[in-house]
Structure 1
Amino acid sequence: MINMFIAMLGIGLIIPVLPKFMLEFGASGSSLGYLVAAFGLTQFLFSPIAGEFSDKYGRKRMIVAGLAAFSISQLIFAVADHMWLLFLSRLIGGMGAAFMIPSMMAYVADITTNEARGKGMGLLGAAMSLGFVIGPGIGGFLAEYGLRVPFYVSAAVAFVSTIASLLFLKETLSVEEQLAARSVGNKRENIFKQFTKSFKAVYLVPLILVFTLTFGLSNFEAIFGLYVDQKFSYTPKDISILITVGALIGVIIQSFLIDRLLRRFGEKRLINISFFFSAVTMILMLLSGNFWYVMIVTSIFFIFTSILRPAINTLLSKMAGKEQGFVAGMNNAYMSIGNIIGPSLAGILFDVQINLPYLFGAFLLLFSLFLSVSWNRRAGGGNQVKPAVQE
């Protein structure tokens, strides 16, 4: 949780200053979208590999490697004076996320029972959201001393986390389990074969929902600053307040309510409800520029997307059986595809017409609801989850 918090704090630090920072490079909406998407590209390429490696070589090694890569990427961003360096930074950062996130999810799965899995994933999600809560506020403060200062601080914080993890983080996967995973010679030679296997798995639809959720969320966030700046003339301070309030609500939901919600409604029902309201709030974003109205709408959006992530992660973890590392890696891979396509398309659509990114995002989230409901009906309904059977 501490590692996830620090990694997300580093990302949150730069959010309020990124639109202004990009103006130094003359970036358009599509350029900003591609820059965000670059992170998802390497996250996509390395996630399945990292997930498998976490099974073979342990969770700790991958988490430490991911934090180190993230620290390097933030430092490059801080000193960059050309666009290609910004893209290089994002590519390295995506690789770091690929190493960290599936290993952290598998770590939680290692130390929790099926009954406690939802709470564990919720707390991990809360740590992620808390970084976004505190990050923008600190980033806005640090930006008073220079636009690049938040990036230097982010790199330093990630470096400290790397050292702390190397010294204090305990490995949850025994040497015997690691050796057993390495001894399986016919496992997933490359990313394409891994995706082929995921297409045939019982948990394919939840993986697709990970993609559509990430697409909708990254679509919303990638051009949010530009959208409210150009359409409603919001200041960086306004943007920081909106993000902070929304993320704070997400932390409260994931820390104190997600376990109760999962027990009360079950993963599948909660996923359907959350997709519906996430889509509705995307459309409502277009109707008014009043600050308090936008705050309410964005807060509702953050509430339901904060519920969606741990709900889908819990569902996948329960279905994964003994393939926790692989499924966590594929989870991150599908998420990274959303992080590639979502921001890229959002930037392109934004340059065409300012409202198009949110209209398309709402459509995709409604499609997700239809897909989830159809899958539930084919599976016989209910919320009982059967774990995957290893071939």
Structure 2
Amino acid sequence: MSVPKRRSGSLIILMINMFIAMVGMGLIIPILPKYVTEFGVTGQAMGFLVAAFGVTQFLFSPIAGELSDKYGRKLLIVSGMGLFMVSQLLFGVATEMWMLYLSRLLGGMSAALMTPPMMAYVADITTEEKRGKGLGLLMASMTLGVVIGPGIGGFLADYGIRVPFYCAAALAGISTIVSLLFLPESLSAEERARARSSMQKRDNLLRQLVASTKAPYFMLLVLVFALSFGLQNFEAIFGLYVDVKHGFTPKDISLMITLGALIGVICQAVLIERLLHRFGEKKVLLSMFILSGVSMIAMLFVSNYFLIFVVSMLFFVATSIVRPAINTLLSKMAGNEQGFVAGMNNAYMSLGNIIGPSIAGILFDVHIQIPYAFGAVILFISAAIFAVSGKKSSHSSSAQQAKHSQTS
């Protein structure tokens, strides 16, 4: 009887850790425009600041998974939470721009150290029948943290612009201690020793990326990149855009992003299965990519708070529905390469998270309107290429079927 209780307790600790980390990552969004004005930075610097997180997350994620196999899940999870605490505290006490960059780099590293071991931990403590439920609960805590993080940040900013970071650091510190004291290791000493003694080497990330370009599902990976690029392009300079153009406060920004993202998550949960069943993954992908591009264009022309909220909500709904549609189609095309495809999915998403905000910040300094126009163009081009490639593949499969029927 004690084993199920211990397992459920471990899952709760993991969910709390994930929630705290995602809240800490999200609360920066509405605060950043006001916060960085103290440092006199430009849109370019702000874009790079957002992208810095993705750089170390991209570089360290493959390493973290392997280290957790060799030295245990708990060590990586506790180290990741501790590093996250340091990153949030550093952001709060920063007096120089390099301190903000260092904080974001450490934050990305902490996310890389935590997330793969947490998912592996759930796989360790659940049966195949219960694994989907366990991972679903972990992802739910991630989504909840992402959605309400900006709202918490905007609320706490009323007590001081640096207060949200101190609160996030304090929560991360408590979570680190709780994990250290009460989270048991899920891998046995024998399994860890076996992993350390294994001489098998995995292909490096660059070789994996090159291999993915030759796969039949490569176009879907391009869409993963385009989606992440568009989403980060939209979010990275959203606060700065509405602050400069419309004079919105951190609370205005946090309310808009939180409600928009929450509605997007609800629509994803309620509509995605019905949409995929009725229209299929390809039609849903195309329509939602077009809707997200149209929303970015519309953002350039709306001026009052309500209309900006409606447009941003439409964007969040479209992008929320696109991701599971891509993942479903990728899973169907992956065959026996599920692990490789999952890794490439994460790699292309990380690249979009790095490049999207970087380019948005650079273009913002050229002209305030250009980032959203450019992001919309990327989404439209991606949708067009996908539509053309889909027609070609359907024509080739029809030709092969006709040829097969003639020979038979």
**Bin of the TM-score, shorter chain as denominator length:** 0.7 to 0.9
Give the 3 Å change call, closer, same or farther, for CA 91–369 of structure 1 in structure 2.
same
Q: Is the 8 A contact 1:40 1:336 kept in 2?
A: yes
Within the alignment, does 1:187 sit opposite 2:202 as a pair?
Answer: yes
User: What residue in structure 2 maps to residue 47 of structure 1?
Assistant: 61
Residue number among 211, 215, 223 corresponding to 2:237 in the alignment? 223
More helix by share: 2
Whole-Å separation in 2 of the counterparts to 1:133 and 1:24: 27
Residue number among 293, 300, 303 corresponding to 2:307 in the alignment? 293
Q: How far 1:56 sits from its partner (Å)?
A: 6.1
Within the alignment, does 1:66 sit opposite 2:80 as a pair?
Answer: yes
User: What residue in structure 2 maps to residue 385 of structure 1?
Assistant: none
Return the letter of the residue paired with 1:192: L
1:341-360 to 2 correspondence within 5 Å?
341-360=355-374
After alignment, is 17-26 or 320-329 more displaced? 320-329
Q: Is the 8 A contact 2:71 2:192 kept in 1?
A: no
Q: How far 1:21 sits from its partner (Å)?
A: 1.0
Within the alignment, does 1:281 sit opposite 2:322 as a pair?
Answer: no
Deviations 1:107-162 (A, max 9, x none): 77886979x96x98876655434223322232223223221111011122233334
User: What residue in structure 1 maps to residue 319 of structure 2?
Assistant: 305
Give the 3 Å change call, closer, same or farther, for CA 71–297 of structure 1 in structure 2.
same
Structure 1 counterpart SS, 2:300: coil
Q: How far 1:380 sits from its partner (Å)?
A: 3.8
User: What residue in structure 1 maps to residue 381 of structure 2?
Assistant: 367
Question: Sequence identity of aligned pairs in percent?
Answer: 61
Deviations 1:278-312 (A, max 9, x none): 11111111111111111111101111111222333
Whole-Å separation in 1 of the counterparts to 2:309 and 2:210: 42
Within the alignment, does 1:16 sit opposite 2:68 as a pair?
Answer: no
Residue number among 75, 91, 113 corresponding to 1:77 in the alignment? 91
Q: How far 1:357 sits from its partner (Å)?
A: 0.3
Unmatched 5+ stretches in structure 2? 1-14, 396-408
Return the letter of the residue paired with 1:343: P
Q: Is the 8 A contact 1:8 1:131 kept in 2?
A: yes
Larger RCO, structures 1/2 (Cα 8 Å, 6+ apart):
1
Structure 2 counterpart SS, 1:134: helix
Give the 3 Å change call, closer, same or farther, for CA 278–184 of structure 1 in structure 2.
farther
Unmatched 5+ stretches in structure 1? 382-391
1:326-337 to 2 correspondence within 5 Å?
326-337=340-351
Whole-Å separation in 2 of the counterparts to 1:325 and 1:246: 32
Deviations 1:139-189 (A, max 9, x none): 22322322111101112223333444553477499976994797462421x
Q: Is the 8 A contact 2:157 2:250 kept in 1?
A: no
User: What residue in structure 2 maps to residue 387 of structure 1?
Assistant: none
Q: How far 1:71 sits from its partner (Å)?
A: 2.2
Larger radius of gyration: 2
Deviations 1:340-387 (A, max 9, x none): 211111111111111100001001111221233344345449xxxxxx
Q: RMSD of aligned C-alpha atoms?
A: 3.4
1:5-154 to 2 correspondence within 5 Å?
5-53=19-67, 62-103=76-117, 126-154=140-168
Q: Is the 8 A contact 1:47 1:329 kept in 2?
A: no
Deviations 1:180-218 (A, max 9, x none): 797462421x33223223333444333222211111011
After alignment, is 315-324 or 294-303 more displaced? 315-324
Return the letter of the residue paired with 2:149: G
User: What residue in structure 2 maps to residue 214 of structure 1?
Assistant: 228
Q: How many residues align?
A: 379
Structure 2 counterpart SS, 1:200: coil
Whole-Å separation in 1 of the counterparts to 2:288 and 2:51: 25
TM-score norm. by structure 2 comes to 0.80
